[in-house]
A and B are shown apart, each in its own frame.
Chain A
Amino acid sequence: MTPLFQIRNLSVDVPGRRLLHGLNLDLPQGQMIALIGHNGSGKSTLLKALARQIPSAGHVAFEGRALSDWPARDLARRLAFLPQSPPPAEGMTVRELTALGRYPWHGALGRFGPADDAAVDAAIHECGLDPFATRLVDTLSGGERQRAWLAMMLAQQAGTLLLDEPISALDIAHAVEVLSLVRRLCRTQGLSAVIVLHEVNMAARFCDHIVALKGGRLAMQGTPADLMQAEALQAIYGLPMEVLRRADGQPVTVPA
């Protein structure tokens, strides 16, 4: 199977500093992939490079085709991106925000047809936002607002979701709610997702595949079980970590 993303010798520079150092990596299809690492490890940079939000050197192929060869709207039909801390979307209802996700399909001038309507309805329903559809986005709570943005991405009907720290501003209950939603979407609709996460236990619990960066280089990749080892965690975060077992066998980690 073609990898979702094939990354070869990917480097990202800002004036005076190199954020990613010649990264080589394949990301598998149909999985929920966590990008983890310490602050400044380059995980958000990698995600933005994959979303084609920042210029990069090297080669990235998305679904077997060089990322730079994708026309903007074609790419947006296959790949949805949510930036970190999305803007307040002033004066927009949830439904209007969700409908913006149809832009790659109808473009600037195309008709907003029944298929678009159906996709918006489905996305709102999927994210449990039916009661909020006519509410203004800036009047929602943090968790609801994040779900509204997810609904916009769903309406895009892209096969792949790229999320930049989607739970960093949410309390634990809303964080679990959002990640469960993403996982359910991956399972039921066969989506792939690449998510930048800070919280390593969340990553291990919800994601199928873990990619860890350190100092702009690949530190490890593998299953959550591979991650949840004291040595692996210490290598990634540079801090002694202890892995505990919950009653149901799930590993959790705390600083030792």
Chain B
Amino acid sequence: MTGMVLPRGRLGFLMTGAALLALILWLLAAQGLLPLTDWPAWPFRAEAMSLDQIRLAFGLMPRGVIALVAGAVLGLSGALLQVVLRNPVADPTTLGISAGAQLALVTATILAPGLLEIGRWPVAMAGAFAATLLVMGIGARRAFAPVTMVIAGMLVGMTANAIATAITLARGEYLLSLVIWNGGSLVQQDWSGVRALAGVLVFGALASALLARPLRVLSLGAEGAQGLGLNVALVRMAAVAVAALLAAAVSAELGLIAFVGLAAPALARTLGLRGIAPLLLVSPLIGALILSVCDGFVLAIAGQRGEMFPTGALTGLIGGPLLIWLLPRLRGSTPPGTEAAEGPAPRSDHPGRILAALVLALVALALVLVWIGRVPGGWTVLDGESFAAFLPMRLPRLIAAAAAGAALALAGAILQRLTANPIASPEVLGVSGGAALGYAATVFLVAAPTSVMLGAGSMAGGALALALVALFTARRDMPAERVLLAGIAVSAFASAVLTAMMAVGDQRSWQVLGWLSGSSSAIGMGAALGLAAMAVLLWGAAIGVRRWLAVLPLGQGVAGGLGLPLRQARLALILLAGLATGAATLLVGPLSFVGLMAPHMARRIGLARPGHAVTGAALIGALMMVAADFGARMAGFPYELPLGMFASLIGAPWLIWLMMRRR
């Protein structure tokens, strides 16, 4: 078949081209440092070299090699994860590995700097493995079912991220070094990093060779594999452990290099590779080339002064658009896991009562939280006088928090039904990332931005991201999986730009970082009421299209057969979700995962019909955000902690518990 020959030729052509490009870029940088004739002779002996020779032999050369090795390690890790989780959007970040490493490093930097003197490896490794173990512990209860693993990984990851961001915010003087680490700098001082990662790569290659055949059997699905005598849980655990170790090693050595693990296998598949063994073989090569080319560009742009500009940030800059460009050509990707991740969702006979209880809880909580407060030295219930004094300050933020929570939850509920994918959420769709980008761009481009300008900036960013996602998915009957991939690509691009911006490290980085975690302190009554009106309107619209929401999860065969205008319905729902996210993001920042959690909770407490589920999700989202707002105000009194972080901290453990509860 022609379909097989063409990609293979193109694959070789593209990879050769990329390799040449990386080599040329590196040579240019090396040539700029030292003319070829002056290069030191092998073996390198530092004592006999000039300073520039040392910088070449122990700086630039290991840097070029480590880009290849780290890229390969990440590509292999991503390929393993995508194969074993049968989820084309799985990557080392999805399992919370990177977030775990980040949290460990942040905590160590601030609480026990002495630990870091041993080196970053043990600390980051410990964090990465703690996160992975937690995720695997949760996954083990369901035989490592793919969907459970991804959801659990994302929950653990976002909790770790929230804590790490909060700690960073609380101790700003470490901001710069942490951001640099987060961005994944490839700067090397000797060959030790290369040696370490090369060892890890060899281990990974051996382990993958051993795992290739069991993984191919596993690709039949858990039941089929069991029937062939495969120990499904063992193979899954082994593969995830290997992938985690690979990713953790890179995290520890170089920091967060996002996207390579996701992009390499995706690109390999897009270029027409089939089968597990070729995927495991070619993904590391592609990963190595991606990282090398990215690092080559960093070197070319900044020369030897590029130490401040982390390469990990650039991988997203190049990888995001690349994936978006390749997306329409993607076919035959790994089917998402079809086995049920959670037990059957309960279904209440009295959804009305549940909804009424939720409304009551919301009202009661709001009343209580308005009335009590923290004073220096303890807690107090406000008397009439101070109540009157505090109300104008507290009411707007209470309203705004509830409205933002409801809007995010609505967006999540709509997206999860639209895509029939339990990990869909506004955060995944890329709207939040786009809004953050717009906000950051305003901060950096305008000398003294007003809040209106900031609002307009983030709205525009969100709309742009949404338009981009819609554009690439609006082709005939966009499949759910593609919406997700496009959204993730936009998110990756946005976060790469953000990281690069933050690496500048002045007080504007601060402003962006602070907003990223969300705060409701600055909101006025007018804006709060506007947000609330928006949330109510969105809820009305969602109720209006509840029949679409009932039909769409049944797949496009059924939906088309019933005469549902698939394309218009999907477009309208995406717009609705995007609008809700954009509005809420202005207030709480893009880090809250309310949009992911609230719809799950609504389902778990027995709200099955679309109308009930959407309403319940909105109420739960409002509840979570109101509680988070209170926590953010009180926990660090008299200082304020990030709102989005608190929402994650409240919601994630609850959701994990709900998911794991056996019925």
B residues less than 8 Å from A82 (CB atoms): 558, 561
Segment touching B, from A29-37, A102-110, A187-195, A214-222: A102-110
Task: Give A156 to B1 CA distance when docked, in angstroms.
Answer: 42
Residue of A72, A74, A109 ringed by the most chain B CB atoms within 10 A: A72
Could you jot down 6 A-B contacts, CB within 8 Å? A17-B1, A72-B565, A81-B561, A89-B554, A90-B344, A100-B554
Are A87 and B560 within 8 A (Cβ)?
A: no
- Any B CB within 8 A of the CB of A230: no
A101 to B561, CA, bound (A): 9
Q: Which 7 A-B pairs have the closest CB atoms?
A: A76-B563, A83-B557, A81-B561, A91-B608, A73-B563, A16-B3, A104-B563
Beyond A100-B551, A108-B548: 18 further Cβ-contacts under 8 Å? A15-B3, A17-B1, A71-B563, A72-B563, A72-B564, A74-B563, A77-B563, A80-B561, A83-B557, A86-B554, A87-B555, A90-B345, A91-B347, A91-B603, A96-B609, A100-B562, A103-B562, A108-B547
- Asked if residues A87 and B1 are in contact (CB atoms below 8 Å), the reply is no
The answer to whether A156 and B562 have CB atoms under 8 Å apart is yes
> Which residues of chain B are near A81, meaning CB under 8 Å?
557, 560-561
A139 to B445, CA, bound (A): 58
For chain A, residues 106 to 129, give those with C-beta under 8 angstroms from any C-beta of chain B. 106-109
How many chain-B residues does the 8 Å CB contact rule pick out?
A: 31
Q: How far is the CA of A51 from the CA of B560 in the complex (A)?
A: 9
Shortest Cβ distance from B557 into A: residue: A83
Is A177 close to B, CB under 8 A?
no
A8 within 8 A of B: no
A82, B565: Cα distance in complex, Å? 17
Contacts of A96 in B (CB 8 A): 550, 609
A136 within 8 A of B: yes
Asked if A76 meets B562 with Cβ closer than 8 Å, knowing A86-B554, A87-B555, A91-B345, the reply is yes
- Mask, A45-86, CB within 8 Å of B = 1, is 000000111010000000000000001111111011111001
Q: Is the CB of A136 within 8 A of B558?
A: no
Q: Which of B347, B544, B548 has the most CB of A within 10 A?
A: B347
The minimal Cβ–Cβ distance linking A136 to chain B, given in whole angstroms, is 7
B109 to chain A, nearest CB (A): 45
Q: Which residues of A contact B565 (CB under 8 A)?
A: 72
Q: A138 contacts the other chain (Cβ, under 8 Å)?
A: yes
Residue B476, interface by CB 8 Å: yes
User: CB-nearest residue of chain A relative to B546?
Assistant: A108
State whether A100 touches B550 (Cβ < 8 A): yes
Q: CB distance B603 to A103 under 8 Å?
A: no
CA gap between A108 and B566 in the complex, in Å: 12
A103→B564 contact, CB < 8 A = yes
Using Cβ atoms and an 8 Å threshold, which residues of chain B touch A52? 560
Q: Does B451 contact A (CB under 8 A)?
A: no
Point out which of A86, A100, A138 has the most chain B C-beta atoms below 10 A from its C-beta. Answer: A100
Which chain B residues lie closer than 8 Å to A91 at the CB level? 344-345, 347, 603, 608
Say yes or no: A138 contacts B548, CB within 8 Å: no
CA A106 to CA B1, docked complex, whole Å: 47
A87 to B563, CA, bound (A): 18
| Distance of B545 from chain A, by nearest CB (Å) | 6
State the CA gap A138–B608 with chains docked (Å).
13
Interface positions of B from 580 to 617, Cβ below 8 Å from A = 603, 608-609
Measured CB to CB, the closest approach of chain B to A83, in angstroms, equals 3
Q: Mark A134-164, 1 if CB is under 8 A from B, else 0.
A: 0010100000000000000000100000100
Determine whether the beta carbon of A53 is less than 8 Å from that of B562: no
Tell me, yes or no, whether A92 is within 8 Å of chain B by CB.
Answer: yes
Q: Would you list which residues of chain B between 293 and 346 have a CB under 8 Å from chain A?
A: 331, 344-345
- Residues of B with Cβ closer than 8 Å to A? 1-3, 331, 344-345, 347, 420, 476, 544-545, 547-548, 550-551, 553-558, 560-565, 569, 603, 608-609
Cα distance A52–B564 in the bound complex, in angstroms: 12
Q: Once the chains bind, are B561 and A51 in contact (CB under 8 Å)?
A: yes
A15 to B569, CA, bound (A): 27
- Residue in B3, B557, B562, B608 whose beta carbon sits within 8 Å of that of A101 in the complex: B562
The residue among B547, B553, B558 with the most chain A CB atoms within 10 A of its own CB is B558
CB-CB under 8 A from A101, the residues of chain B are 562
A76 with B561: in contact, given A55-B476, A108-B544 (CB under 8 Å)? yes
B550 near A138 with CB under 8 A, answer no
Closest Cβ neighbor of B548 among chain A residues: A108
A residues near B560, Cβ cutoff 8 Å: 51-53, 72, 81
Q: Please indicate the chain A residues that have their CB under 8 angstroms from the CB of B548 in the complex.
A: 108
Residue of A nearest to B606 (CB): A91
A87 touches which of B331, B544, B547, B558 (Cβ 8 Å): B558
| A89–B609 CA distance with the chains assembled, in angstroms | 11
Contact of A83 among B551, B561, B603 (CB under 8 A): B561
Which residues of chain A come closer than 8 Å to B547, judged between CB atoms?
A: 100, 103, 106-108
Write out the residue numbers on chain A whose beta carbons fall within 8 Å of the beta carbon of B345: 90-91
Whole-angstrom CA separation of A48 from B420 in the bound complex: 22
Q: Check if B2 sits within 8 Å of A16, measured CB to CB.
A: yes
Asked whether, in the complex, the Cβ of A136 is within 8 Å of the Cβ of B347, the reply is: yes
Which residue of chain B is the closest to A53 with respect to CB atoms?
A: B560
On whether the beta carbons of A83 and B555 are closer than 8 Å, the reply is yes
B558 and A86 within 8 A (CB): yes
Take A96-B609, A136-B347 as given contacts and tell me if A83 and B3 are in contact as well, using a CB distance cutoff of 8 Å: no
Which residues in A have their C-beta under 8 angstroms from that of B1?
Answer: 16-17
Q: For the complex, give the distance between the alpha carbons of A80 and B559 in Å.
A: 11
Contacts of A138 in B (CB 8 A): 344
B residues near A109, Cβ cutoff 8 Å: 544
Bound-complex Cα distance A55 to B560 (A): 13
A74 to B550, CA, bound (A): 20
Q: Identify the closest chain B residue to A158 (Cβ).
A: B561
How far is B609's CA from A70's CA once the two chains are assembled, in angstroms? 31
A103 with B344: CB separation less than 8 A: no
Q: Which residues of A contact B545 (CB under 8 A)?
A: 108
CA distance A156 to B564 in the complex (A): 13
Q: Is the CB of B608 within 8 A of A75?
A: no
In the complex, how many angstroms separate the beta carbon of A184 from the nearest chain B beta carbon? 22
B608 to chain A minimum Cβ distance, whole angstroms, is 4
A41 to B563, CA, bound (A): 28
Query: How distant is A18 from chain B, measured CB to nearest CB, in Å?
Result: 12
Q: Are B557 and A75 in contact (CB under 8 A)?
A: no
Give the nearest-CB partner of B555 in chain A.
A87
Asked whether B562 lies within 8 Å of A104 as measured between CB atoms, the reply is yes
B569 proximity list for chain A (CB < 8 A): 108
CB-CB under 8 A from A103, the residues of chain B are 547, 551, 562-564
Question: Complex: how many Å from CA A251 to CA B553?
Answer: 43
B660 shortest CB reach to chain A, Å? 19
Question: What is the distance, in angstroms, from B276's C-beta to the closest C-beta of chain A?
Answer: 23
Q: Please, how many angstroms separate the alpha-carbon atoms of A109 and B553 in the complex? A: 19
Contacts of A80 in B (CB 8 A): 561
